[in-house]
Amino acid sequence: MQLTILGGGNTAFATAARLTLFGHDVVLYELPAFSAMLDPMRRDRIIHLKGVGGEGPAKIYRIATDIEEALAESALILLIVPAYAHAPFAEVCVPHLRAGQTVVLMPGTLGSLAWAKTLSAIGKAGVTLAEVDTAPYVCRKTAPDTATIWGVVNGLGLGVFPAVRTDVVKPLLEPLFPGIRTYPDVMACGLSAMNPVVHPAGVLMNAGRIEYAKGEFCFYEEGVTPSVVKVIMAVDAERRAIGNALGYTLTPVHEAFADAGFGPRGDLWATINGSWMLTRLKAPGSLESRWLTEDVPYGLAAWHRLGALYGVEAPTLRALVDLAGPVMGFDGWKAGRGPEELGIAGLSREKLTAYLQEG
């Protein structure tokens, strides 16, 4: 298969390398303003992959900073960037997309709906959108031209827009991410993202230690203590209540972590502390981290605004968004996306369901 990966960060590098080693032709694209991220492997096009996801030098099929070139030959496009980069990539990509192409946001946190609104605004039809509920790997760039994978997610969750095309998109992704499972639609998928459930509460409750130690401690093993878990579970309860209001039965966070293969079954503290991959991850090096700047505005704030639209109160989500604002230095309510940005403002639950299914 030939496919295009948009992005030059940790997961984009790891995914490009692993899929290349599996025999696929990967076009790796980054926005021109960030093209320096591709410089370490531009000369020989090699990303060195290490860890449980495979080992060896992966010679990338093509490196591109011209979007027309990047999209020209691929029917499948994987967007692997933080949520705050979804809009800049949409601005560049949408005019050059064509009917029959599929764009998958990895992960999406409802970003596929924002892309759908952008496509609709310029009258672009025939493009299928999808998103997954988490990144496919627990990974990091461990050198400028090297990616290390510590864990491969079991049963990556997929939502498709419109949902009637789910049976078309799943077979495209199954060879790349074996065991992929599907949600009823992209809304259920976006509400099932686990990073916003865990990261903001964990970072804010460890803020002093992160700043003092500059992240030199194991975030999950040392920072997610029983008291932190209580707050995480309160966030999770409100997330699931929003899902219930929309007709979904969402998986609790501790079960989702176990289903993904992160750790053994049990309560969240037991699952995390029994996880080989999670207990090895260090905390962010500072509070200027996407664990706040992405997961607060595009996770917690978006969920809260969605819940408010359908009459669900979420006081823990509100408290964390309000608290994160001074820490981040910007308003998490204004920076993210809500019903208007997702193109669903004013839709009743029934009309929302129909829109998610049919487009």
Q: Are 111 and 81 in contact (CB under 8 A)?
A: no
Q: What is the mean pLDDT of each run of 10 residues along the chain (359 residues)?
A: 96 98 97 93 94 96 96 97 96 96 97 97 96 94 94 93 98 96 98 96 97 95 95 98 97 93 91 87 94 98 97 98 97 96 96 97
Please name every residue paired with 161 in a beta bridge, in sequence order, or none if there are none: 129
Handedness of CA 54, 256, 141, 280 (dihedral sign): negative
The tokens of 242 are what? 């929003």
Q: How far is CA 19 from CA 4, 74, 81, 285, in A?
A: 11, 14, 17, 29
Q: Is residue 58 classed as helix, strand or coil in its secondary structure?
A: strand
d(CA 122, CA 301): 27
Asked if 284 and 295 touch (Cβ cutoff 8 Å), the reply is no
Strand runs labelled E in the chain: 2-6, 25-29, 46-51, 56-59, 62-64, 76-79, 102-105, 128-132, 137-143, 146-152, 157-161, 181-182
| Cα(44)–Cα(48) distance, integer angstroms | 11
Rounded distance, CA 194 to CA 330, Å? Answer: 23
DSSP 32: G
CA distance 265 to 14: 27
At the topology level, CATH places domain 2-190 in Rossmann fold (3.40.50)
Residues in the chain: 359
CA distance 174 to 179: 7
What does the pLDDT read at residue 262?
A: 86
Query: What pLDDT is recorded for position 281?
Result: 85
**Domain boundaries defined on the chain:** 2-190, 195-350
DSSP character at residue 81: S
Q: What pLDDT does 27 receive?
A: 98
Calculate helix-pair angle for 226-245, 315-328, nearest 10 degrees. 120
> Tens digits of per-residue pLDDT, 215-246?
999 999 999 999 999 999 999 999 999 999 99
Tell me which CATH code domain 195-350 carries: 1.10.1040.10
For 312, half-sphere exposure in the C-beta direction (CA atoms, 13 angstrom radius) is: 22
SS3 221: helix
Centre a 10 Å sphere on the Cβ of residue 100 and count the other Cβ atoms it contains: 9
Residue 154 confidence (pLDDT)? 87
Tell me the C-alpha distance between 246 and 12, whole Å.
32
Residue type (1 letter), 300:
L
The backbone torsions φ and ψ at residue 160, rounded to the nearest 5 degrees and listed phi first, read -125, 140
327 CA to centre of own chain: 22
**Alpha-carbon dihedral sign for residues 60, 64, 67, 70:** negative
Residues 6+ apart with CB under 8 A from 53: 14, 18, 137, 139, 149, 152
Instruction: Check: CB of residue 317 under 8 Å from CB of residue 300.
Output: yes
Q: Three-state DSSP class for 105?
A: strand
